[in-house]
A = this chain, B = another copy of it.
Amino acid sequence: MDFGGDDDDTDTDEEEEELETTETMKCVSCKEDYGSRDAGTCRECYEEASETEEELKREIEDLKTKVNFLRFFWGPPLLSPPPFADVVLVASDDHSAASQPVPVPAHRAVLACRSPVFRAMLENKMEESLSGTIKIGDVSYDALRNFVNYLYTAEACLDENMAYDLLVLAEKYQVKHLKTYCEKFLVSNLNWESSIPVYAFAHQHNSKNLLDAALSLIMDNMEKLCKREEYTELVEKDPRMVVQIYEAYLSKQVNTAAKKEPATKP
Closest residue of chain B to A119, judged by CB?
A: B83
- Interface presence of A86 (CB below 8 A): yes
CB contacts (< 8 Å) of A119 on chain B: these are: 83
CB < 8 Å neighbour of A46 from B41, B85, B177: B41
Copies of this chain in its oligomeric complex? 2
Output the least CB separation between A14 and chain B (Å).
13
Within 8 Å by CB of A41, from B7, B40, B57, lies B40
Interface size class of A (residues with CB under 8 A): 35 or more
Point out the residue from B7, B83, B113 that lies within 8 Å of A73, measured CB to CB: B113
Q: How far is the CA of A83 from the CA of B53 in the complex (A)?
A: 42
Name A42's contact: one of B39, B43, B68 (CB within 8 Å): B39
A42 & B42 in contact (Cβ 8 Å cutoff): no
Q: Do residues B26 and A25 form an inter-chain contact, with CB atoms below 8 A?
A: no
Q: If A46-B40, A52-B53, A56-B53 touch, does A112 touch B86 (CB 8 Å cutoff)?
A: no
Give the interface segment out of A102-110, A214-222, A234-242, A246-254: A102-110
- A38 is an interface residue with CB less than 8 A from chain B: yes
A107 CB to nearest B CB, Å? 5
User: Apart from A28-B39, A41-B41, A107-B109, what 11 extra A-B contacts exist at CB < 8 Å?
Assistant: A19-B19, A19-B23, A25-B39, A26-B39, A34-B42, A38-B42, A40-B44, A40-B45, A56-B57, A73-B113, A109-B110
